[in-house]
Amino acid sequence: MRWGAPREIAPLDPYSFGETFTLSVLNHVYKGLVRYYGDLKIQPALAKSWELTTPTTWRFHLREGVKSHNGAPFTAADVLA
């Protein structure tokens, strides 16, 4: 990916840094399980649905047919990574 900007972006790990400029760049690279739409409501992205199984545990049901950049199927192991 080639990116032109007046400053550098921080690390490419979206969970290591919370600066707004870097996160806006990373939104073009990574897709999350859920995302916010125009009305600021949470909508499905890589997860097709989710449920609260205990007061502190969520279960996400992943979309099928999603492939990585190298053609590998999207799995729960990818989410954990």
Specify the residue for token string 């990116």: 3
Domain count, the chain: 2
DSSP, collapsed to helix, strand or coil, labels residue 20 as: helix
Same domain? 66 vs 38: yes
Q: What is the pLDDT of residues 16-35, one digit of tens each?
A: 767 777 777 777 778 889 98
Same domain? 37 vs 76: yes
DSSP, collapsed to helix, strand or coil, labels residue 33 as: coil
Residue-range definition of the domain harbouring residue 64:
32-80
Same domain? 25 vs 11: yes
Q: CA–CA separation, 7 vs 22, rounded Å?
A: 10
Same domain? 5 vs 20: yes
Percentage above 70 pLDDT, the chain: 91
**Is 45 in contact with 33 (CB distance < 8 Å)?**
yes
Q: What is the pLDDT of residues 48-61, one digit of tens each?
A: 999 999 999 999 99
Residue 11 burial by CB count (10 A; 0-12/13-18/19+): exposed, middle or buried?
A: exposed
Same domain? 18 vs 55: no
